Amino acid sequence: MRFRWSAIPAALLFVAWLCVPPLHLAALDAESGLTGAAGVEIPEAPEAQAGPAQTAAPQNAGAAAQPAASQAADVSGTVTDVNGDLVPGATVVFDAPLGADRRTVEANDNGFFQVTDLKPAIPYRVTIRAKGFAEWTAPPLVLQPGQFFIFKDIQLKLPGAETSITVYSSTEQIAVEEVRLAEQQRLFGFIPNFYVVYDHNAVPLTAKLKFKLALRVSIDPVNFASAVFFAGMEQAANVPDFQQGLKGYGQRVGAIYTDGLTDLVIGGAILPSLLHQDPRYFYQGTGSASSRLWHAVSYPFVSKGDNGKWQPNYSTIGGDLASSAISNTYYPASQRGSALFAENFLIDTGERMVSTIFQEFVLRKFTRNAGQSQ
């Protein structure tokens, strides 16, 4: 039995909906009576739930007159002082001309703020105020439809000091900020959901950032806790064919954790670095339900390259194949061989499809710092 960490958000939400055990694990033996993750029935995603930015149009309005909610833009940033120290609780104000729109948010304890559903094509005046600092004002900000804009180098100065704004053109610096923001994305506030990109204009990651993100996920306590939890369910079902008792339980914990680790390191860092592919799932969030569904289920086979073009997802496929092959070295002898190898690969692919469908239609609204208002 294999369980990948990327399926944790979808699996836990599915449990919350059913409110009854057991969780649908991937590939338990047929005699155990549990169904693999590839066999999870996916709830139909209604087209009306496209995210918090969607606004219902009057029924008598023509299609041409109805504004697309997907055209709304998001802005985020981190408030610091001139020494690079975080400034929590700063007040961030977005003002559109002639009272067209006004938003006020407060930076959290990490100085982070995010504003959603901003209108494109109008100039916003952005002002940041914090006690003990001079007011910070940005030049008029005009957003593109669907843009996720990240403010760079917001540095508050003491009263009387000159305020300046630095605009970075380096894609590497932007990618570093994207990873930093991704590491704040947590389902229900605590489950890591780092490998999802909500910015349609995201830049590619460097090889160093790909390994950094993989390491950040692999050492997250929630992922280790999930291995402990699911190993208990395997122990109760007596699958795989490890022995019972504490030793068998430890073997199951180690097997589940190693499954996720090998899949993550190979398919999420090594191969993407060598093949110049992006290991993240790019949230679509726009278009018809059918187009979004196709986008989600095709993710195991199609990925975005570092050149910005879509291409065969050799990294994910190769990672699943390599991880399945490695699992033959530590699973019980009765469950090794080509049959287990093929089964594990199909299970990994099925789990990934289930996870991305949930990511596309459900999980954004439950993920902190993923387009939700601060």
CATH number of the domain that residue 94 is part of: 2.60.40.1120
Rounded to the nearest 5 degrees, what angle is found at the Cα of 263, between the Cα atoms of 364 and 228? 75
Q: Is residue 287 part of a domain?
A: yes
Domain finish residue from 168, 194, 219: 168
Q: Is residue 263 part of a domain?
A: yes
DSSP-assigned beta bridge partners for residue 314: none
Q: Which has more confidence, 88 or 43?
A: 88
The confidence score (pLDDT) of residue 372 equals 39
- What pLDDT score does 246 carry? 94
Q: Mean pLDDT of all residues in the chain? A: 80
Q: Is 159 in the same domain as 29?
A: no
DSSP string, 98-150: GGS-EEEEE--TTSEEEEEEEPTTSEEEEEEE-TTS--EEPPPEEPPTT-EEE
Mean pLDDT of 337-365: 87
Q: Are residues 304 and 215 in the same domain?
A: yes
- The per-residue pLDDT for 297 is 95
What pLDDT was estimated at residue 27? 37
Same domain, 159 and 180: no
Token pair, residue 109, equals 């304890």
pLDDT score recorded for residue 41: 44
Shared-domain flag, residues 148 and 178:
no
Domain tally, the chain: 2
236-285 pLDDT per residue, tens = 999 888 999 999 999 999 999 999 999 999 999 999 999 999 999 999 99
**Residues above pLDDT 90, as percent of the chain:** 48
- Which of 136, 164, 139, 158 is closest to 149 using CA atoms? 139
Residue 151 lies in a domain: yes
Within this chain, do residues 119 and 263 fall inside the same structural domain, yes or no?
Answer: no
Question: Is the predicted pLDDT of residue 125 greater than 50, yes or no?
Answer: yes
Within-domain flag for 21: yes
Share of the chain above pLDDT 70, in %: 77
Q: pLDDT of 307-337, one tens digit each?
A: 999 999 999 999 999 988 898 899 888 878 8
Given a cut of 60, whether residue 66 has pLDDT beyond it is no
In a domain? residue 65? no
pLDDT for residue 69: 44
Domain-embedded: residue 240: yes
Residue 57 lies in a domain: no
Of 218 and 20, the structure prediction assigns the larger pLDDT to 218
* Closest-CA residue to 36 (of 357, 272, 327, 344): 344
64 inside domain: no
3-state secondary structure of 194: coil
Residue 19 has pLDDT above 50, yes or no: no
Judge whether residue 177 has pLDDT over 60.
yes
**Is 163 found in the same domain as 284?**
no
Residues 28-35, mean pLDDT to the nearest whole number: 37
Q: Are 79 and 97 in contact (CB under 8 A)?
A: no
Residue where one domain finishes, among candidates 150, 168, 186: 168
In this structure, the answer to whether residues 273 and 211 fall within a common structural domain is yes
How many other C-beta atoms are found inside a 10 Å radius of the C-beta of residue 96? Answer: 17
If you average pLDDT over residues 4-11, what whole number do you get? 55
Going by C-alpha positions, the residue among 302, 305, 314 that lies closest to residue 271 is 314
Whether 28 has a pLDDT exceeding 80, the answer reads: no
Q: What is the pLDDT of residue 335?
A: 79
Instruction: Tell me what pLDDT residue 324 has.
Output: 86
Closest by alpha carbon to 138, among 120, 116, 156? 156
- Which DSSP string corresponds to 233-293? HHHHHT-SS--SHHHHHHHHHHHHHHHHHHHHHIIIIIHHHHHTB--SEE----S-HHHHH
Structure letter (DSSP) for residue 186: E
Q: SS3 for 25?
A: coil
pTM of the model: 0.59
Which residue, 145, 168, 191, sits at the end of a domain? 168
Q: Give per-residue burial for 151-175: e unless 16+ CB within 10 Å, then b.
A: beebbbeeeeeeeeeeeeeeeeebb
Q: Say whether both 178 and 282 belong to one domain.
A: yes
Whether residue 195 sits in one domain with residue 308: yes
Task: Quote the domain boundaries for residue 90.
Answer: 71-168
Predicted pLDDT at 108: 93
Q: Looking at the predicted structure, is the pLDDT value of residue 48 above 60?
A: no
Both 185 and 142 in a single domain? no
Residues 302 and 236 in one domain: yes
**Per-residue b or e along 319-357, where b marks 16 or more CB atoms closer than 10 Å to that residue's CB:** bbbbbbebbeeebeeebeeeebeebbbbbbbbbbbbbbb
* Domain co-membership, 38 together with 150: no
